[in-house]
Structure 1
Amino acid sequence: MFRNEMWRSAPAGILDTAYTTFGMIVAVQVFAASDAAKAVFLSSPRAGMIAAIFVVPLLLRMRSTVAQTAAVTQLVGAGCFALAALFPGSEVMFITGISFGFILFALQIPLMTQLYRTNYPREKRGRLYAITSITRSLGAALFSWAAGWLLGWKMDSYPWLLWVFALMAFISGWLTYGLPATPWEVPESEDQRLWRSWRWVREDRDFRTLLISWMMMGVGNLIAYSLFVEYLANPAHGIALGAEQVALLTGVVPLVARLASSYHWGVLFDHAPFFVVRITLNLITAASILCFYLGDNHWWWGSGMALSGLSLAGGNVAWALFVTKLAPEHAVAEYMSVHTFLTGIRGVLAPFLAYGMVEWWSFTTMAWVCAGLVVAASGFIAVRKKGERIGGREVRPELSDDEAL
C-alpha cells in the first residue's frame, strides 16, 4: 500500500492547491464572486465530511471493499472537476463543479483511514503517512509556484489549471483502485443503523475529550485560515497583492514548511504521548494566526504562513491517524466518520462565520478571538488529561515491513 500511496501523493497534493490557493484566486480575481459564493466553495469539503457519517453503514450494506468504494468516489469527483473545466467562463459551473468534486473526495476519508490502520504497522504508521505527506507537499509546492507564475503572467490561463485538477483527481482515483481490496470485517451482531458510529462517543472518554477540544480549536483555526487568501488578494482590505505573490505566500511557503517538518511529526506521533503532541500543535497554530494577521509586511505574513505549514504538517498526521490509536480495528472507519462529521460541521460554519466576523470586526480582533479559541482547546485537553490510554488498543499481530509496502 505504501508504494501505491507514494505514487498517489503528488496528484493529491496538486489537487489540494485547488482548495488552498487557486480556487479562491479564481473566485476573487476572475469572477469577483460574492461572499456567499466563496463561502459555498470553502465549505464544500466540509459538507462531504458531514455526509461521510453515512458511508460506513452504507458500505456494510453494499458488501463492497474499502479501496474500491473510495476509488469510485474519487473518480466521480474527477468528473465534477472536469465539469468546471468544460465551462470555464461560468461562475456557477465553476463553483458547482469544484465544490461537488471536493465533497466527493471528502466522503472517502474514513475509508482511507481504515486502510492505513489495516495495512501500516503500528510502530511506523505515523512515519509512513508522513513520508507520503512530504511528497504530497512537494508536489503542491512545485505546482503552486508554476501555476502562480502562469496566472501572474496571464490570468486568462486559469482554464488550464481546471483541467489539471480534473486529471489529478482521475489519477488519484485510479491509483486508489489499485490499493489492497480489504473486505469489511465486523462482528455479525454489530448495529447497522445509519447513526451507529455515534455510540463510540458515549463509550470512549478519550475520544470524547479529543472531539470537544478539536471542535474548539477547529472553529478558531478554520475561521482564520479561511481568510488568508481573501486578506491578501482582495483590494477592499488594503493589501491587494498579485496572484503570484499570493500563491507564493499562501501556497509555497506553508508547503515548504510542511515538507521540512512532516517526517519529524510522524516520528513524534509514533512515539510521543498524543495529548502532548496535540497541545504543541495548538500553540503553534495560535502563533501562526497572530503572526499573519497582526503583521503588516511580507516578513510577518511569510512567518505566519510558515508556522501555519508547520502546524498543518503535524496536524495532518494527527487528524488523519489519531483514531488508529483509539479504535478497535474493525471500528476505525466509524471513529473517523464521527471525527470527519464534526470537522465538516465546523468547516461548513467557519467560512460563513469568518465573513460575518470581518463585516463587524477588524482582522486584528478576529485574529485574537481565533487564537484564543485555539489556546482554550489546549487548556481543555490539559485539564481533562487523566489516565491517558491512547495507544492501548492495538493487539493484533503487526504486518511485516514487506506487507506494509
Structure 2
Amino acid sequence: MDTTLRIRKTEQAYLWTSALKAPFWAIYCLLIFILCKDLHATSFQIAVFIALKPVVSIFSIYWSNWVHQRPDRLRTNLIAAGCLSYLPFFFFPVINSPWFVIGAAALYMMLKRGIIPAWMEILKLNLPEEKRKKIVSSGNSISYITGALLPLAFAPLMDVQPGIWRLFFPFAALLSLAGVYFQWRIPIDAAMIEKVKKPLNHHLLKPWKEAWALCRSRKDFMTFQLGFMLGGGGLMVMQPAIPIFFVDSLHLSYTALAIAIAFCKGVGFAITSRIWTRFMDKVNIYRLCGIVTIFAALFPVFLLFGIQSLTWVFVAYLLYGVMQAGSELTWHMSGPIFAKEEDSTPYSSVSVMAVGIRGLFAPFLGSILCSSLGSSSALLIGGGLCIMATLYLTQKQNAFTSETT
C-alpha cells in the first residue's frame, strides 16, 4: 500500500477514535460520584471501585500479550476490545446494582489499557518517528477538549433529573463503537507481519517473566518505571480522598464537579499538550517526567485551598490537566522511545503492568490514611510521594542512554 495512504488512514483512525470516545470518557469520570450520590454505594464498594481501576491492569497484560510479535493481530485486538468493553453499559438503564456498575467500569478500564501496546505498535509501524508524538498529542487533545465541553451540557441535567445518567452511558457507548469503522480500515502491510509459531501453552507467568527479563536487561527502562511508580503511586494514594473531600467537605453538585473535573482539567490538558510534545523533543524522558510530577505534587495543595473558595478547586484541576497532558504523553510514548527499532509492545506492556502493581497497594494505603488521618492528610501524603518521584528522576536522569534517544 502507498505510504502516504497508510499514514493518512492510521492518523484518521487514531484521531476519530479519540474524538468518538470522548463523550463516554467524560461521563465515565463522574462514575465514582454517581456511585456515592445516586446509587448510595457503601464505603467498601467505593474502595473496591477505586482499587479495581488500576489493579485490572494486571489482567490487561494478557490481552496485550496476544499481539506480541504478531502485527497481524493488532487491528483485531483493538476492535474486539472496543466491542467487549462497551457492552455492559447498554444494560445500565435496567440494572440498578452498584456491583454491576463496578464490574462494568473495571472491564472497561482493563481493556482500555490492554489495547495501548497495540495502538503504540500500529503507530510505530505505520507512521514516521516525527509524526508519532504529534498524533498521540493531537488525539489526546481532541479527546480532552470534547470531554471538557460536553459535561457542561449534561451535568446540570443530572442535578435536576436524577438517574438520567443511565441513558447517557449507552448513548455514549454506541457513539464510541463508531470508531470501529475507522480502526477496521487501518492498513497492516503483509510484508511487516512476522509469523511466529504460537506456543502450545500460554503460561500465566509468561508475561511476568518477559517483563522481568526486559527490566533486568534494560536498567534505564527499569529506572524510568521506578520513578513513574512513585509519581503514579502518589496520585493513586490521593484517589480515595478526593470523593470524600468533595462530598463531605465541599458538598459539590454535579455541575461543579463537571466544571472542575471535565472542563478545567480538559482545558489544562488541551492548552499544554502541544507544549509537552515540543518539550519532549528537547529534554530526555527522565527530566520530563520529573517536571510532570511537580505539577502532580501541586494539585493537592491547591485542592485543599478549595475549603476557602471553590475557585481553588478549579485552579487545582487546571493544574491536574497540565500534569496529565505530560503524563499521558510520556507514558504512551515510553514504549516506542525505549524500544527504538525493536517491537515496542513488551515495553508498553510493562508500563500497563506497573499500573496494576501500584494499584494493589496505593489505593488501599490511601483508604487507610483517610480513615486514620483524614482526607486532607491523605492528599498531602500523596503529594509528598510525587515530590519524591521528582527528586528520584532528576537524580537518575543520566541513566537515560544515548541509544534510546
Q: TM-score, normalised by structure 2?
A: 0.88
Residue matched to 1:171: 178
AA of the residue aligned to 1:78? Y
Residue matched to 1:281: 292
> Which one of the candidate residues 250, 261, 271 is aligned to 1:250?
261
Superposition CA RMSD, Å: 2.6
Q: Aligned residue pairs: how many?
A: 388
Q: TM-score, normalised by structure 1?
A: 0.88
Compute the displacement of 1:215 (Å): 0.9
**Structure 1 stretches of 4+ moved >6 Å:** 187-192
1:78 aligns with 2:86: yes
Determine helix, strand or coil for the equivalent of 1:4: helix
Cα deviation, 1:280-333, whole Å, max 9, x if unaligned, reads 111111011211124422121111111101100111111111221111444311
CA distance in 1, matches of 2:213, 2:320: 34
Residue matched to 2:25: 16
AA of the residue aligned to 2:238? A
Residue matched to 1:121: 128
CA contact (8 A) 2:22 2:144 kept: yes
CA distance in 1, matches of 2:249, 2:349: 41
1:25 aligns with 2:33: yes
CA contact (8 A) 1:257 1:310 kept: yes
CA contact (8 A) 2:245 2:376 kept: no
CA distance in 2, matches of 1:241, 1:56: 38
CA distance in 1, matches of 2:71, 2:278: 36
CA contact (8 A) 1:123 1:270 kept: no
Unaligned runs of 5+ in 2: 1-9
Unaligned runs of 5+ in 1: 395-405
Determine helix, strand or coil for the equivalent of 1:241: coil
> Which one of the candidate residues 7, 12, 29 is aligned to 1:3?
12
Cα deviation, 1:219-253, whole Å, max 9, x if unaligned, reads 11122245434421x2xx23211111112112211
Identical counterparts, % of pairs: 17
1:240-319 pair list within 5 angstroms = 240-296=251-307, 297-319=309-331
Determine helix, strand or coil for the equivalent of 2:63: helix
> Which one of the candidate residues 225, 228, 231 is aligned to 2:245?
231
Q: Which region of structure 1 is more displaced relative to structure 2, 117-126 or 151-160?
A: 117-126
CA distance in 1, matches of 2:69, 2:365: 37
Compute the displacement of 1:48 (Å): 3.5
Residue matched to 2:158: 151
CA distance in 1, matches of 2:166, 2:237: 28
> Which one of the candidate residues 26, 47, 52 is aligned to 2:55?
47
CA distance in 2, matches of 1:206, 1:320: 17
Residue matched to 2:333: 321
Compute the displacement of 1:366 (Å): 1.6
Compute the displacement of 1:116 (Å): 2.2
Residue matched to 2:228: 214
Compute the displacement of 1:173 (Å): 3.8
| Distance of aligned partners of 1:61 and 1:275 in 2 relative to their CA distance in 1, 3 Å threshold | closer
